């Protein structure tokens, strides 16, 4: 298998006796969107900060584009964009001045920086109109932080909860924008609590719990390994009294059986036919990533 653009092996971070990230290993292919999910305290942010060289691992290795982050951090930062979950901005500055300031830190030539800023403002639907950053809405500020992470046109992006705390419209916009970044060839690692967003965006997903890897794969691979597929059979008969194959409930005058045993489905359909009944609907219920995640985290679902 061809090595990924990012290769992580045995990544560990300890704070005294507390192990925040424990022997984590994975790779990310070029042009992929790679999601990291887990409950609060699972080690997501710690992992992303190590990948961004903001904190040093206790042990393990991180390679990006063949470079060791332990010895080549400065060079890696030249093609890396990082967006923390909490991203303080210089609120007294105007947006264009703020982005120009960061372009100078990355040694982006002036004319190219101005061109990039215009493109980023357009792509992110940012219309600051000369306002200072402190006068912008939360969603607009988040877009400014995303623009800052892209000012050096990085190949690799590391985003911690990019749409956290935003209204649904802005969250959807940023999700679509992240998808467009992939289409432009960028490799993206991001964390999120929104499992629907992760499932719709990511090529591969890593689930963490207590700093340890629980599972890693595509949404479909995780669903096949951990998901319990169920079958819903809705039927109509004159008399249900003699039905003893499985639990059944009445819904709007029909009868419904929900089971994960295909044999029960087959036996029920034969029973309905023998009673000259009708099959109203038969469908497969595929668990969502969120349902699988909650089960892996040992969270009990309460149904009213």
Query: Following DSSP, what letter does each residue of 77-131 receive, concatenated?
Result: HTTEEEE-SS----TTSBHHHHHHHHHHHTT--HHHHHHHHHHHHHHTT---TT-
Question: Who has greater pLDDT, 115 or 226?
Answer: 115
Strand partners, 15: 18
Strands 59-64 and 212-217: unpaired
Predicted pLDDT at 299: 54
CB-based contact 202:219 (threshold 8 Å): yes
- Alpha carbon 154 to chain centroid, angstroms: 20
Q: Where are the alpha helices (DSSP H) in the chain?
A: 44-51, 73-77, 95-105, 110-123, 138-149, 168-183, 195-201, 219-226, 262-274, 289-296
Per-residue model confidence as pLDDT tens digits over 117-176: 999 999 999 988 888 999 999 999 999 999 999 999 999 999 999 988 788 888 889 999
Per-residue model confidence as pLDDT tens digits over 14-45: 999 999 999 999 999 999 999 999 999 999 99
Query: Closest Cα partner for 27 from 48, 3, 50?
Result: 3
Rg, the chain, Cα only: 25
Alpha-carbon span 207 to 215, nearest angstrom = 5
For 39, the 3-state DSSP assignment is coil
Alpha-carbon span 189 to 169, nearest angstrom = 22
Tell the residue number behind the tokens 């009294």, with chain if given: 241
pLDDT band for position 302 (50/70/90)? very low
User: Is 199's pLDDT higher than 80?
Assistant: yes
Q: Which domains does the chain have, with CATH numbers?
A: 6-218 (3.40.50.300), 230-285 (no CATH)
- Token duo for residue 206: 């890593």
Strands 156-160 and 187-191: parallel
Tell me the whole-structure pTM to 2 decimals. 0.82
- Identify the burial level of 186 via C-beta atoms within 10 angstroms of its C-beta, where 0-12 means exposed, 13-18 middle and 19 or more buried: buried
CB-based contact 199:37 (threshold 8 Å): no
Predicted pLDDT at 2: 55
């Amino acid at each position: 298998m061809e090595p990924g653009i990012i290769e992580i092996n045995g990544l560990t971070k300890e704070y005294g006796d507390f192990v925040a990230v424990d022997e984590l290993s994975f790779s990310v292919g070029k042009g992929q969107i790679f999601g990291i999910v887990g409950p609060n305290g699972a080690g997501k942010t710690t992992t992303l900060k190590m990948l961004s060289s903001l904190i040093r691992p206790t042990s393990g290795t991180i390679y990006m584009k063949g470079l060791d982050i332990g010895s080549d951090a400065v060079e890696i930062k030249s093609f890396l964009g990082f967006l923390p979950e909490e991203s303080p901005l210089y609120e007294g500055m105007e947006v264009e001045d703020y982005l120009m300031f960061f372009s100078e830190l990355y040694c982006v030539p002036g004319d190219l920086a101005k061109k990039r800023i215009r493109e980023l403002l357009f792509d992110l639907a940012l219309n600051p109109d000369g306002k200072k950053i402190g006068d912008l809405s939360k969603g607009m500020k988040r877009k400014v932080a995303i623009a800052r992470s892209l000012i050096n046109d990085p190949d690799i992006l590391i985003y911690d909860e990019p749409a956290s705390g935003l209204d649904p419209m802005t969250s959807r916009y940023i999700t679509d924008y992240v998808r467009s970044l992939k289409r432009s060839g960028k490799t993206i690692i991001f964390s999120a609590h929104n499992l629907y967003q992760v499932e719709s965006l990511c090529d591969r997903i890593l689930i963490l719990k207590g700093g340890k890897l629980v599972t890693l794969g595509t949404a479909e691979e995780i669903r096949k390994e951990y998901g319990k597929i169920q079958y819903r059979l809705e039927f109509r008969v004159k008399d249900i009294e003699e039905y003893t194959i499985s639990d059944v409930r009445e819904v709007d005058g029909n009868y419904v059986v929900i089971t994960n045993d295909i044999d029960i489905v087959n036996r029920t359909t034969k029973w309905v036919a023998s009673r000259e009944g009708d099959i109203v609907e038969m469908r497969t219920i595929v668990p969502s990533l969120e349902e699988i995640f909650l089960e892996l985290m040992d969270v009990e679902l309460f149904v009213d």
